[in-house]
Structure 1
Amino acid sequence: MARWYPLESADARTFTSAPYVFRYVRTLAAPPATVWESLASDESLSAWSSTVSEITWSSPRPFGVGTTREVVLAPGLARVRERFFRWDEGHGYSFIVDEANLPVFKTFAEDYVVEPHGADGATTQFTWTVAIEPKRAFALPFAALAPVLRLAFGRMAADGERHFARTG
C-alpha cells in the first residue's frame, strides 16, 4: 500500500504564482465535444499517452467541482490523488493534487481548456497548464529537473495531438 503525503491547497492563482508553470497549446484534430468526451471518460488521459498508465475516478457521475480521482503515472512509480475545483462542462476543468506518494510537492495543479479552433469547428485548441511548487527540501533538485519535466509534460501534450490525429 502506498504511503500518501498531503499537499497544500491551491486555486486558480497557482497557475500564475507557482515557481514552475508549464503551458502547452495544441491544435487537436477533433471537434471540442470529442476532446471533452475523452477528457471526461473513464480512461481520460490514459487513452492519449503511455505516460499516464491508470486513472480511477473515485466520485460518481456526473462529475463536477469536488470530483476526485487517482492517477498512476507510468511506470507506476508516481501516484497522485486529485480534486477538481473548476468544472466547466464541455469546456475545461482544473484540479489540485491533494496527496502524492512522493514527498516532493508543496502544491501541484493542472488546468485544461477545450476551445473550438478554426471556422468549421472541426478542430480543437487544447490548452493545458501545469503549476508546481516543490517542497523547500526539493527546490534545488527540482530546479535541475524542471527542463526534463517540461519535456515530459510536453510529450503528453504531443501524445494528445497524435491520438486525435488517429482517432479524430
Structure 2
Amino acid sequence: MGSLYPADRVEIDFCDTAPFRYANSVDLAITPEELFEVLADADAWPRWAKVITHVEWTTPEPHGVGTRRTVTMRGGLVGEEEFLAWDPPRMMSFRFNACSTRTVRAFAERYDVEATPGGCRMTWTLALDVRGPSRLGMPLGRPVMDAVFRGFLHRLRRYTDARFAGVTD
C-alpha cells in the first residue's frame, strides 16, 4: 500500500452537512438483522459494491464504535475507515481517517435501516468534501455518481436475494 494522507475526522452529522452528498434507498427482501450480517461480511462488499476490491477488518470483533477497517478500491484508492456508529439492526456509519489520495478532504457514509412488511429498507448516504480542481467538477458529476450508487444498491438487492434464497419469502 502506498502513502496515505490524513482526512478530516468528521462526525456522523457530516452525512447531513457535507458539501457533496448522495442519498439513495433500496428495499430488500431480508430482515434488518440479515442485512447487518451482510454489512459485517468483508467478503460481501466486493460482490455488490463493484468499486471495492477488498475489505479487511483491522480491529477484532465485536464491531462497534471505533472499529476500523481498510477498504481497497479500483484504481488503487485505499481508505482507512473508523466506525462512528454500529447500531444493528438500525444504523451504521464510518469515516475515512486516511486515504491514498490528497483529493479527499473528508469522507463518511451512513446506512439507515428500517423494517418493512417485506423485509427492510436501507438508505445509504455518502458524504464527502474534496480539495483542488475536483471541487469544480463535483456538481457536474452528480447525476453520474447517483446512477453509480443506485447501481450498487440494485446489486445489493440481487446479492441478498441470492444469498438468502429460501430463507425469506
User: So what's the TM-score if we normalise by structure 1?
Assistant: 0.89
Q: Deviations over 1:60-93 (max 9, x none)?
A: 001100000011123x421111001111133221
Deviation at 1:137, TM superposition (A): 4.1
User: Out of 121, 131, 147, which is 2:143 matched to?
Assistant: 147
Distance in 1 of aligned mates of 2:141 and 2:21: 14
What does residue 128 of structure 1 align with?
124
Partner Cα separation in structure 1 for residue 142 and residue 25 of structure 2? 19
The letter for the 1-side match of 2:80 is R
Q: How many aligned positions are there? A: 164
The partner residue of 1:162 within 148, 158, 165 is 158
TM-score (norm 2): 0.88
C-alpha displacement of 1:29: 1.6
1:135 and 1:6 mapped to 2: Cα distance? 13
Contact 1:36–1:114 (CA under 8 A) maintained in structure 2 = no
* Aligned-residue offset at 1:151: 2.1
Q: Distance in 2 between matches of 1:18 and 1:2?
A: 27
Indicate the residue corresponding to 1:23 in structure 2: 23
- Residues 4-34 of structure 1: CA distance to partner in whole angstroms, max 9, x if unpaired? 1111111122122111111111101212111
Judge which range, 143-152 or 94-103, deviates more.
143-152
Aligned pairs (5 A) from 1:85-124 = 85-118=84-117, 122-124=118-120
Q: Secondary structure at the match of 1:130?
A: strand
Listed one character per residue, the Cα deviations across residues 91-146 of structure 1 (whole Å, up to 9, x for unaligned) are 2210111111111111110001222111xxx5111111101111244211333333
The aligned amino acid for 1:15 is C
Stretches of structure 2 that go unaligned for 5 or more consecutive residues are 165-169
CA contact under 8 A between 1:28 and 1:125: conserved in structure 2?
yes
Q: Residue type matched to 1:37 in 2?
A: E
- Quote the sequence identity (%): 26
CA RMSD of aligned residues (A): 1.6
